[in-house]
Structure 1
């Protein structure tokens, strides 16, 4: 059950949020070769000066991402996902990719729990809730 966390220093409309979540969920499912029902997404909106990256100006829009995922994906897949997410952020929120920062944290499948069960170790093409 990935938990994909996004923090931005601007406010966006509910319509924009709805489209963003849909694109993120679909991108994760496609690139990481898994289903969608177990994907958790958090979007936190902060005031302009509440997030910073050293290379950005204080007035720039920023996006920080913390992606908690199950271990087992290659660095190539994680990099593909990172670049795709940066593009989705740019398209939906207008945030320059140079002002985005992503951290992946990998966990064993058993670290992710839903009411039905905990998840197994990731395998290609899986439906983790089946």
Structure 2
């Protein structure tokens, strides 16, 4: 934890996926004020015609970003992170921003096991 899971509607080069993962890890640690080694990124390429949303003009392919985080961050931090996730995904994956959807799931520290121990809720002291 944190875990950023991306479901993609097509396949991308290894270089694009590695650039995306690197940028998302850096973004997460900056905005959410934590160590850069904490974020984990998973990318699932579902392929064409496997990930949809019903848009104003009918069925459209989307990029789904699910963000699992520890409790303690403000709404403003999550909003900034979400907006910037959309920007980076749109840029790297070359998809319209309107088709990048972000969902947050907030967990308490006692729902996350790391190195055999419960993780604590996030606090600002983690940023240092």
Match of 1:94 in 2: 94
d(CA) in 2 for partners of 1:93, 1:3: 19
More displaced 10-residue stretch of structure 1: 83-92 or 60-69: 60-69
Q: What are the equivalent positions in structure 2 for 1:40-119 lying under 5 Å apart?
A: 40-55=40-55, 58=59, 60-119=60-119
Structural RMSD (CA): 1.6
Q: Which runs of 5+ in 2 are unaligned?
A: none
d(CA) in 2 for partners of 1:70, 1:41: 15
Match of 1:10 in 2: 10
Q: Which runs of 5+ in 1 are unaligned?
A: none
Match of 2:38 in 1: 38
d(CA) in 2 for partners of 1:6, 1:47: 12
Runs of 4+ that moved beyond 4 A: none
SS in structure 2 opposite 1:36?
coil
**TM-score, scaled to structure 1:** 0.89
**TM-score, scaled to structure 2:** 0.90
